[in-house]
Structure 1
Amino acid sequence: DEQRTYFNVRSRPAHLQLRSVQGTDEGVYRCKVHFKASPSWSQRIALTIEDPPWFPGIRDATSDRRLEGDIGPYGTHVNLRLLCTASGSPPPMLQWGGIGSGLGSPVEQRT
């Protein structure tokens, strides 16, 4: 398996190569140059990666079954736990609400 990140000293100028950039590559990178007759020089950059959003849908927490469209019927006095998960960078905002939701105003949470 070929390395995704390597420092190429054979090319001119030498360069840092990042292949197939991923969220785990996010961070601060520093280039430092040492001279024989002069002070060293360095520069930093902060690499930010935007991960594409991921949305698997709504699931029943008990059965882990994916739910779509009309669901049920569920009997009264039954506990129902619905999961809505998403990820991305920057983190998306999840919001529950809707007609007949019993929530009043929408409920939001940053993931």
Structure 2
Amino acid sequence: MTNRDKASFIYVDNSPTKRQSIRHWAWLLWGGLYFVTMSQPSSLTVEAVQLDDEGLYRCRVDFKNSPTRNFQIRLAVVVPPHQLLLYDEAGRDVAGVVGPLEEGSNFTLLCELRGGK
């Protein structure tokens, strides 16, 4: 479990009686997640997005005289592969120039990626 996994929810009471206490609040939550209330609108910033940040993010707003509103997004993180392998059908590494090949012959190039998401 990473530190970012521990941030399940953040509760901020922005009612007039509580507003003064959070007026200039910018909170570093866990290694790169910031919840900022001193700007309008308030925001959650994820710096240097990591695979562990992937998941469902939800914003819930409760009003005194109106129904509660919920918004949610799913953050998907793409991780590039760390290795690209090219080889021929016999399993030999292929790099640079391939051939010479006879005209009309077949050539199979296998491409394998390792890592990534």
Given the two structures, how large is their TM-score scaled by the length of structure 2?
Answer: 0.48
State how 1:47-66 maps to structure 2 within 5 Å: 47-55=75-83
Deviations 1:8-28 (A, max 9, x none): 111111101100001110001
- Matched with 2:48 is 20
Count of residue correspondences: 64
Unaligned runs of 5+ in 1: 58-67, 70-83, 90-111
Which residue does the alignment assign to 2:105? none
1:34-75 per-residue CA deviation (whole Å, 9 max, x = no partner) reads: 101111100111110000111287xxxxxxxxxx88xxxxxx
Q: What residue in structure 2 maps to residue 46 of structure 1?
A: 74
User: Greater helix share, 1 or 2?
Assistant: 2
> Cα deviations across residues 67-88 of structure 1 (Å, max 9, x unaligned)?
x88xxxxxxxxxxxxxx98210
- Structure 1 runs of 4+ with >2 Å offset: none
The letter of the residue matching 1:7 is: F
Does the aligned pair in 1 maintain the 2:81–2:113 contact within 8 Å? no
Give TM-score, length-normalised by structure 1: 0.50
